[in-house]
């Protein structure tokens, strides 16, 4: 990307708000009116940090645009191809062979299978008295994930990771307010109850955790730290595209933002950092990316930034130790939010997934970008072969214009007629028109493409078995041992990818979700008791469970907890015939059963074979083992009989 000078744009954005004033009450009695010394100082500090980050991140936009072109199978047509398509849309044009897209789909499918299990986030209590609270915490957060569709945001996070080298998510707390229809008593003039009627009241419709995605093109991290170590940086920001009416509504409802009315006095409400656009929305044959009409949508560009600062140095208070503050700068000129972060976890409320990180870079190279060179060779091999075939089937002819009517040759169609000129009448057509011999020099390109595809599979950890295809060709059929070995090798590489993503992103999301729930949850809610903790909850709260549901209050989850992270494997990928053979030996030898828990081993095999909720199939009957002497005494007394005898008697 070329160097961009933002100085002139920044300097020109100094609107005079002297003659404009609105009655705002600012937090902590700070003078945050646009144009004040404190306001201008904060604007400069936020701009400086945004500029420092954008200069580093914008260097990657060109490479990311190339990746977007690859993943959307989009390619610019030259003048000849556009003319050819305008004449006959059925004729093939140059394309991006979508093999990088196929590899990314394979990797995404694995990550979805590895992490999209109920519940997505699992917790356990630190001490025995925390056990039930941790179960309730898990149930509550699972309900939030279903309500706010967190799985979709995780999918975007995984995709950004594979495409751009890192994906960013922002765990937050959503409070949705609205109107609720309720039943109200309908009483007459003398207070007598005549029935019921519908009424409306303002209420909180939902509160809970949510996960928002941050586009890497709009991300402004601290460039002085590695992307996976963003918590060690001094700031983390991102750009946001919103509109004036939405901000005005939030100002009225939330009471957190302010100064929104001042935006109505600005002629330009866009940010200079959003002049560079992603090419991902370009489509085949279109003339450009997504455009915006600010005259209709009242668009406003925001810079959101969380900064680690010393309030005394920033003139935001007298405290002399670092704190995290949250700022929003609209249109590069007006601060509409400035408040301490005030979150119990005291972390930047962002998580980063960068599975192919090198441990040091602020913008690592992505999995798809590594394959981009080979993708270019694959495109060239395929397109040159198609171009050569297209040229060959057009019949390159050598014509003697003295003997043949050239206009008939130019306008010929299938089965058309070519007339000879008068001097050639009666002399035959042997030397009038001759087909030019053309050799297909690209005949081997398709075979070479297969070779390139194989190497892309090996490098991208998405071979045929991972894609659901078996090995083709060869004199011998695919053996079970070969399939298991190949599959195990591919799965181990994919498990590495999943494990790193789990440690980098999902563990942090799980921690922030739990912390937000303990700090911000105000309303009681009902959760289901079904699932892997059903027996435990029934034993503890059996009388309070109604139709598999129980109430959870904000105080029930104020416990100490640990996060149980998934290991990045897919259910069923760890299945091994060795475990089955061991289980058979164990089942046949009572002496081994005394040393090993056969039920737990069976559950382990079932889970590794892909079973999700083994506990749902357990019987409620309690089985008690008795010593052999006691069994013989009970049998002699007629109190117990052998199992096979009982079955035979029941059948009779």
Q: What confidence tens digit (pLDDT) does each residue in 49-82 have?
A: 999 999 999 999 989 988 988 887 666 776 667 7
| CB < 8 Å & 24+ apart, contacts of 606-611 | 607/571, 608/571, 608/572, 608/573, 608/574, 608/575, 608/576, 608/579, 609/571, 609/572, 609/575, 610/571, 610/572, 610/575, 611/571
Residues in the chain: 652
Contact 303, 332 (CB under 8 A): yes
What value does the mean pLDDT of the chain take?
Answer: 80
| Lowest-pLDDT choice from 360-364, 368-372, 630-634 | 630-634
Q: What pLDDT was estimated at residue 325?
A: 96
Both tokens assigned to 10: 């920044």
Other C-beta atoms closer than 10 Å to the C-beta of 450 total 11
Whole-number pLDDT of residue 617: 66
What is d(CA 115, CA 569) in angstroms, rounded to the nearest whole number?
8
Decide which of 464 and 566 is more confident. Answer: 566
Position 461 confidence tier, pLDDT thresholds 50, 70, 90 = confident
Q: Which residue has the higher pLDDT, 299 or 194?
A: 299
- Which band of pLDDT confidence, cut at 50, 70 and 90, is reported for residue 646? low
Cβ–Cβ < 8 Å for 212, 168: no
**pLDDT digit string (tens) for 593-603?**
778 887 878 87
Q: Which of 219-228, 311-320, 425-434 has the lowest mean pLDDT?
A: 425-434
What residues are paired with 220 via a beta bridge?
Answer: 237
Contact (Cβ atoms closer than 8 angstroms) between residue 271 and residue 237: no
The answer to whether the CB of 95 falls within 8 A of the CB of 101 is no
Strand partners, 338: 327
Beta pairing class for 193-214 and 219-221: unpaired
CA distance 155 to 213: 10
Q: What is the mean pLDDT of residues 546-569?
A: 83
Q: How far is CA 194 from the centre of its chain?
A: 54
Strands (E), 126-234: 167-187, 193-214, 219-221
As a whole number, mean pLDDT of residues 446-475 equals: 70
Q: What is the pLDDT of residue 296?
A: 56
Residues 510-555: pLDDT tens digits? 999 999 999 999 988 877 766 665 566 556 555 555 566 778 889 9
Q: Is 294 helix (H, G, I), strand (E, B) or coil?
A: helix
Radius of gyration of the chain (CA): 34
Pick the closest to residue 512 from 226, 188, 199, 231 (CA basis).
Answer: 231
pLDDT at residue 38, as a whole number:
95
- pLDDT of the residue at 619: 63
Question: Which pLDDT belongs to residue 652?
Answer: 47
Position 6 scores a pLDDT of: 57
Report pLDDT for 329.
Answer: 96
Q: Find the distance separating the first CA and the last CA of the chain, reported in whole Å.
A: 86
Tokens 């920001």 — which residue? 237
Spatial contact of 327 and 46, defined as CB atoms under 8 Å apart: yes
Give CA separation, 174 vs 150, 240, 524, in Å.
12, 17, 15
CA distance 147 to 196: 31
- Please write the tens of the pLDDT for every residue from 325-348: 999 999 999 999 999 999 999 999
Question: Rounded distance, CA 415 to CA 37, Å?
Answer: 84
Q: Give yes or no for a contact between 211 and 149, defined as CB atoms under 8 angstroms apart.
A: no
E strands present in 215-346? 219-221, 235-243, 299-309, 323-330, 334-340
CA distances to 170, 348, 356 from 360, in Å:
22, 19, 11
Label the pairing between strands 433-435 and 525-528.
unpaired
Going by C-alpha positions, the residue among 383, 448, 441 that lies closest to residue 92 is 383
User: What is residue 219's predicted lDDT score, i.e. its pLDDT?
Assistant: 95
- The SS3 of residue 532 is coil
What proportions of the chain, in percent to the nearest 5, are helix, strand and coil? 45, 15, 40
Best CA proximity match to 333, nearest among 24, 10, 18? 10
Chain centroid to CA 126? 31
Using alpha carbons, select from 336, 356, 321 the residue that is nearest to residue 244: 336
3-state DSSP assignment of residue 645: helix
pLDDT digits (tens, 9 = 90+) for 124-183: 989 888 888 888 899 999 999 999 999 999 999 999 999 999 999 999 999 887 888 878
Compute CA distances 232 → 228, 235, 347, whole Å: 9, 9, 10
| pLDDT over 90 (residue 214) | yes
CA angle in degrees (0–180, nearest 5) for 352-358-361: 70
And the tokens for 276? 């560079």
> What does the block give as tokens for 418?
């070519």
Structure tokens at 118: 């109920």
Tell me what the mean pLDDT of segment 399-411 comes to.
71
194 pLDDT above the threshold of 90? no
């Amino acid at each position: 990307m070329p160097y961009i000078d933002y100085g002139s744009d920044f300097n020109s954005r100094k609107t005079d708000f002297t003659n404009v004033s609105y009655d705002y009450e600012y937090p902590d009695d700070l003078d945050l009116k646009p144009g004040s010394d404190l306001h201008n100082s904060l604007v400069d500090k936020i701009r400086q940090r945004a500029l420092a980050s954008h200069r580093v991140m914008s260097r990657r936009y060109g490479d990311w645009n190339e990746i977007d072109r690859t993943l959307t199978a989009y390619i610019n047509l030259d003048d000849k191809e556009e003319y050819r398509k305008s004449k006959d849309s059925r004729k093939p044009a140059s394309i991006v062979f979508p093999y990088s897209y196929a590899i990314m789909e394979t990797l995404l499918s694995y990550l979805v299978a590895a992490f999209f299990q109920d519940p997505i986030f699992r917790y356990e209590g630190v001490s025995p008295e925390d056990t039930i609270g941790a179960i309730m915490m898990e149930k509550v957060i699972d309900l939030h994930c279903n309500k706010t569709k967190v799985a979709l945001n995780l999918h975007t996070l995984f995709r950004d990771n594979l495409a751009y080298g890192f994906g960013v998510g922002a765990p937050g707390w959503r409070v949705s307010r609205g109107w609720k229809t309720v039943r109200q008593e309908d009483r007459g003039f003398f207070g007598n109850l005549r029935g019921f009627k519908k009424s409306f009241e303002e209420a909180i419709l939902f509160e809970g955790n949510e996960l928002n995605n941050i586009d890497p093109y709009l991300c402004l991290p601290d460039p002085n730290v590695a992307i996976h170590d963003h918590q060690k940086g001094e700031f983390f920001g991102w750009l946001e595209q919103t509109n004036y009416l939405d901000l005005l509504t939030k100002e009225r409802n939330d009471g957190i933002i302010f100064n929104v009315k001042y935006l109505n006095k600005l002629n330009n409400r866009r940010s200079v950092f959003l002049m560079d656009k992603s090419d991902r929305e370009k489509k085949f044959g279109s003339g450009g990316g997504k455009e915006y009409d600010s005259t209709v949508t009242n668009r406003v560009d925001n810079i959101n930034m969380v900064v680690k600062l010393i309030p005394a140095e920033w003139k935001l208070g007298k405290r002399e130790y670092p704190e995290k503050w949250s700022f929003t700068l609209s249109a590069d000129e007006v601060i509409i939010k400035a408040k301490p972060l005030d979150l119990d976890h005291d972390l930047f409320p962002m998580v980063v997934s960068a599975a192919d990180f090198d441990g040091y870079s602020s913008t690592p190279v992505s999995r798809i970008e590594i394959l981009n060179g080979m993708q270019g060779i694959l495109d060239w091999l395929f397109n040159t072969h198609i171009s050569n075939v297209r040229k060959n089937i057009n019949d390159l002819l050598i014509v003697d214009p003295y003997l043949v009517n050239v206009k008939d040759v130019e306008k010929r169609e299938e089965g058309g007629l070519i007339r000879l000129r008068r001097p050639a009448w009666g002399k035959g057509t042997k030397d009038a028109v001759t087909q030019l011999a053309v050799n297909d020099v690209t005949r081997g390109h398709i075979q070479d493409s297969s070779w390139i595809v194989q190497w892309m599979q090996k490098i991208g950890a998405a071979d045929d078995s991972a894609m659901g295809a078996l090995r083709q060709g060869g004199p011998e059929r695919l053996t079970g041992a070969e399939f298991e070995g190949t599959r195990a090798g591919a799965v181990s590489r994919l498990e590495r990818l999943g494990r790193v993503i789990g440690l980098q992103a999902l563990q942090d999301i799980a921690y922030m979700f739990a912390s937000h729930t303990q700090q911000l949850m105000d309303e009681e809610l009902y959760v289901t008791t079904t699932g892997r903790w059903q027996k435990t909850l029934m034993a503890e709260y059996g009388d309070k469970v109604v139709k598999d549901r129980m109430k959870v209050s904000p105080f029930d989850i104020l416990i100490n907890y640990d996060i149980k992270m998934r290991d990045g494997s897919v259910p069923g990928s760890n299945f091994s015939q060795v475990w089955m053979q061991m289980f058979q030996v164990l089942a046949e030898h009572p002496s081994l059963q005394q040393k090993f828990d056969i039920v737990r081993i069976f559950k382990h095999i079932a889970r590794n074979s892909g079973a999700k909720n083994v506990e749902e199939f357990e019987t409620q009957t309690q089985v008690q083992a008795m010593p052999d002497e006691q069994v013989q005494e009970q049998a002699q007394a007629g109190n117990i009989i052998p199992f096979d005898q009982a079955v035979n008697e029941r059948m009779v």
